[in-house]
């Protein structure tokens, strides 16, 4: 189990019976919404392990959808999120997977509309703490609890140092950073969690870099 403080064990302020199955699930859904950057037209939710067995009784279903609707863990609308999603024109489907996951509280979320698609895998560790472990088939580790940027780029020499140089110029301290790629010389993904607020001019400076194709800011 991975906890950052005693407050992770006590658990967050939340709607629902379980910090793992409700609060954590809502946070995973909200990270998916943040990365998608708008309300999707379709949400396909695939549940594994303990999530698959108890998702209705523990409110995991309404929590994930509430997160996708951009509700926080304590939002009183979460219990009615399935109805609210339908009213908003968002198609939601649930399915369960019998395969044994690496972590018992695992969900795969696929969001889409007419212009874009996003797929991520998240796990609820406990106490409302989560990790995003996969994004569009990139392996990563993202907590969703700290300001972060995701930098999609071509796997070329010097891109990583150029990004970290800009962060240093803006006096941004890196708390966690990792890079993954699907294939040598092809597309790669930088995940950078930081200690300070991420300003828009920093994002714009990174976007100007050669070989950078997309920059996503996780926390305002």
Average pLDDT, the chain: 87
pTM of the model: 0.79
Tens of pLDDT along 121-141?
999 988 778 999 999 989 888
Supply the pLDDT for residue 140: 87
DSSP state of 23: I
Q: Assign domain 148-217 to its CATH superfamily.
A: ACT domain (3.30.70.260)
**Residue 118 φ then ψ, to 5°:** -145, 140
6-142 adopts what CATH topology? 60s Ribosomal Protein L30; Chain: A; (3.30.1330)
Tens of pLDDT along 179-197?
998 888 899 999 999 999 9
Tens of pLDDT along 41-62?
999 999 998 898 888 877 899 9
The DSSP secondary structure of 27-59, one letter per residue, reads HHHHHHHHHHTS--SEEEEEEEHHHHHHTTTTT
| Domain residue limits, the chain | 6-142, 148-217
At which residue do the structure tokens 């895998």 appear?
121
CA distances from 149 to 21, 154, 193, 198, 219 (A): 26, 16, 7, 8, 8
CA distance 132 to 213: 21
């Amino acid at each position: 189990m991975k906890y950052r403080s005693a407050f992770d064990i006590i658990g967050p302020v939340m709607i629902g019976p379980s910090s793992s199955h409700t609060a954590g699930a809502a946070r995973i859904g909200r990270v998916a919404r943040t990365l998608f950057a708008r309300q999707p037209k379709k949400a396909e939710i695939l549940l594994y392990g303990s999530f698959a067995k108890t998702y209705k009784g523990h409110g995991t279903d309404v929590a994930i959808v509430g997160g996708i609707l951009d509700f926080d863990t304590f939002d009183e609308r979460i219990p009615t999120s399935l109805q609210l999603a339908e009213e908003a024109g968002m198609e939601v489907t649930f399915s369960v997977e019998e395969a044994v996951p690496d972590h018992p509280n695992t969900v795969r979320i696929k969001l889409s509309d007419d212009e874009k698609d996003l797929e991520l895998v998240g796990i609820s560790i406990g106490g409302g703490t989560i990790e995003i472990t996969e994004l569009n088939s990139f392996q990563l580790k993202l907590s969703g609890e700290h300001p972060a940027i995701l930098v999609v780029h071509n796997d070329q020499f010097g891109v990583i140092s150029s990004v970290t140089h800009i962060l240093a110029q803006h006096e941004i301290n890196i708390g966690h950073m990792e890079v993954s790629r699907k294939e040598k010389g092809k597309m790669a993904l930088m995940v950078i969690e930081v200690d300070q607020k991420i300003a828009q001019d920093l994002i714009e400076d990174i976007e100007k870099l050669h070989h950078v194709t997309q920059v996503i800011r996780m926390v305002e």
